[in-house]
Amino acid sequence: MQKLKVLITGASRGLGLAISKKLESEYSLILHASKEENLGEVGPDSHILCADFSDAEQINAFCKQLKKDHGDSLYAVINNAGLTFDKPITFQPEREIDAMINVNLKAPVMISKTAMKIFGLNKKGVIINISSVVGESGNAFQSVYAATKAGLVALSKSLAQEAAALNAGHEIRVLSVSPGFIETDMTDAIPETEKEKYLKMIPAQRFGKVEDVAEAVLFLLSDKASYINGTNININGGIL
Ligand SMILES: NC(=O)c1ccc[n+]([C@@H]2O[C@H](COP(=O)([O-])OP(=O)(O)OC[C@H]3O[C@@H](n4cnc5c(N)ncnc54)[C@H](OP(=O)(O)O)[C@@H]3O)[C@@H](O)[C@H]2O)c1
């Protein structure tokens, strides 16, 4: 049987890389990074589609290519690519604000728009948007990042409702996943004193591993999760 196709954005490192490793035996993957050379070696069943999402024109070109190359067979999208520039908003240059909005929110919106067209024809598909714990709690010095992540939760819930409003008898699901503090390049940049402060807030008494998120994504994509829809799944060790 032919494997179902799944797009994973930001698959070059961190969570996206772990998700791609977790899914590769079961699915045919479309792997994205900002540049092809960042992806390294990819499996035989994998396709590559790269774009710098901080550039709105590249997002549009990416969506067009996605539809052209994979429009007949796309089963799922994991909108995972993301970036943050942590600082007080009064010191935040507009180019950083635009980059966070484009990469973290505009790209998932446009990719979801493309996917919803494809899923509407097939009456089947899954979108998982990788949000963050700070999308709900907020976080000092991450105001724009947190706003983009909150946007992904609302986008997912809205699209789940929209899929139902437009498609009778469909199997389309849209979800968000909100990781807490997971050990990746993104969190390596946080100073040790800050990390100690975060650790005290986590009932699981450890930071998350990329596998904690990848395992959940594998389950959420599967038919075993067919009744989990239009909601946000926290993976954060119990952060209050
Ligand atoms: N780590 C955590 O604790 C944590 C917690 C909550 C939520 N998250 C979310 O989880 C997702 C993955 O985070 P991570 O920790 O794995 O981050 P990471 O290690 O920094 O990796 C970020 C990924 O996003 C891609 N990306 C960054 N800027 C891009 C751009 N301008 N255009 C296209 N792609 C770009 C990167 O591709 P290149 O290699 O090509 O740059 C890379 O694949 C993000 O959305 C993040 O907000 C992470």
pLDDT at 1 (0 to 100): 78
Ligand 1: does its nearest atom lie under 6 Å from the Cβ of 38?
Answer: yes
Query: Looking at ligand 1, which residue's alpha carbon is closest to its atom 33?
Result: 34
- What is residue 38's DSSP assignment? G
What is the DSSP code string of 45-94?
A: T-EE----TTSHHHHHHHHHHHHHHHTTTEEEEEE-------S-GGG--H
Q: Name the phi and psi angles at 136, rounded to 5.
A: -100, -45
pLDDT at 189 (0 to 100): 87
Query: Looking at ligand 1, which residue's alpha carbon is closest to its atom 29?
Result: 34
Which tokens is 41 given?
Answer: 């070696």
Looking at the CA of residue 55, tell me the nearest atom of ligand 1: 31
- Cα–Cα distance measured from residue 84 to residue 8, given in angstroms and rounded to the nearest whole number: 19
Ligand 1: does its nearest atom lie under 6 Å from the Cβ of 33?
Answer: yes
Ligand 1: does its nearest atom lie under 6 Å from the Cβ of 102?
Answer: no
- The domains of the chain, with CATH numbers, are 5-235 (3.40.50.720)
Ligand 1: does its nearest atom lie under 6 Å from the Cβ of 239?
Answer: no
CA dihedral of residues 147, 124, 215, 24 (deg, nearest 10)? -110
pLDDT at 201 (0 to 100): 94
> What are the pLDDT tens digits along the chain (240 aa)?
789 999 999 999 999 999 999 999 999 999 999 999 999 999 889 999 999 999 999 999 999 999 999 999 999 999 999 999 999 999 999 999 999 999 999 999 999 999 999 999 999 999 999 999 999 999 999 999 999 999 999 999 999 999 999 999 999 999 999 999 999 988 888 899 989 999 999 999 999 999 999 999 999 999 999 999 999 999 999 997
